[in-house]
Chain A
Amino acid sequence: EIVLTQSPGTLSLSPGESATLSCRASQSVSSTSLAWYQQKPGQAPRLVIYGASTRATGIPDRFSGSGSGTDFTLTISRLEPEDFAVYYCQHFGSSLWTFGQGTKVEIK
């Protein structure tokens, strides 16, 4: 089973700053199968990035994803008030789909 470890657990930033979120896999995974989601309180998660670097429909270009192998990154440049949320990475394996434990991006 592939384990995804996200860091940091919480990121305290001000609007306008940039956020860098990490997702590390316990073994190498295909970039095709790595996704990021945003979840706000009381709401369902929303797909932000798929295929490690492709923005989902309606996601602004201040969101970008990168990485390969075991290390993946979600970068949010110029944080807007609506970006403060919890972000999860997910790996779609051939039989087992796993989520990271989440990174909370909070207003400083």
Chain B
Amino acid sequence: QVQLQESGPGLVKPSETLSLTCTVSGGSISNYYWSWIRQAPGKGLECIGYIYNTGSTYYNPSLKSRVTISLDTSKNQFSLKLSSVTAADTAVYYCGRVGDYALKDWGQGTLVTVSS
């Protein structure tokens, strides 16, 4: 079973860029779709976007102007950058592996707080 682990700063200042990395183990990142999902405190799940091994990406329209998802096959990692963050971007950020039209594997999640 594939394992995923998010890493990155837990605190980001308003207007700066949130950067997270998801390291994949137990499988090659060169297959499947890979996704970022977030969950604001006490709220539901929101898909941020996804990337395929070809590099093709999809971003949630509500975040599209601020989001970049990229793949690093040499490190078996994929990354998330979210620019111009505000307090509304405070959330637990999860990375996930997509298979059979479902998020089959999830990272444990990392809390990112936007505050000065």
Q: Which residues of A contact B (CB under 8 A)?
A: 32-33, 35, 37, 43-47, 50-51, 54, 56-57, 88, 90, 92, 95-102
Contact = CB atoms under 8 A, between A and B. Distances in A.
Contacts, number: 57
B44 interface: yes
In the complex, the 8 A-B pairs of residues with the closest C-beta atoms, listed nearest first: A50-B102, A35-B102, A44-B106, A92-B101, A97-B47, A33-B101, A99-B45, A101-B44
B11 interface: no
Interface of B: 1, 35, 44-47, 50, 58, 60-61, 94, 98, 100-104, 106-109
A95 B58 contact: yes
Contacts of B102: 35, 47, 50-51, 56, 90, 92
Contacts of A54: 100
Nearest to B4: A44
Given A50-B102, A88-B44, A92-B101, 12 more contacts: A43-B108, A44-B106, A44-B108, A47-B104, A50-B100, A56-B102, A90-B45, A96-B61, A97-B47, A97-B50, A99-B44, A102-B45
